[in-house]
Amino acid sequence: MIMQSYEKLLAVVSNAREDVEKAGGGNRAAGTRARKHMQEIRSAAQEVRNAILAARTEPPKA
């Protein structure tokens, strides 16, 4: 579960790269898309945090 959440986070980050670079160059539409990607990254990072906390409270598998 943790690795699945982490892989999703990595995918969202890599998808954001092009728009972030364009936004850095002054493209306003890309800036809007980049901000949307940042919100998705925030949500995906929270999923990773929750998965880690859930794994910590579960008993270890035998």
pLDDT single digits (tens) 4-55: 999 999 999 999 999 999 999 999 999 999 999 999 999 999 999 999 999 9
CB 27 within 8 A of CB 18: no
Report pLDDT for 24: 96
When pLDDT is cut at 50, 70 and 90, the band that residue 62 belongs to is low
Residue 3 lies inside a defined structural domain of this protein: no
Cα(45)–Cα(62) distance, integer angstroms: 28
Report pLDDT for 59: 74
| Structural domain total, the chain | 1
Residue 44 lies inside a defined structural domain of this protein: yes
CB atoms within 10 A of CB 34: 19
Give the structural domain span for 51. 13-57
CA triplet 56, 61, 59: central angle to 5 degrees?
40
Residue 8 lies inside a defined structural domain of this protein: no
For residue 12, what are its two tokens?
A: 């969202």
CB atoms within 10 A of CB 47: 16
pTM of the model: 0.84
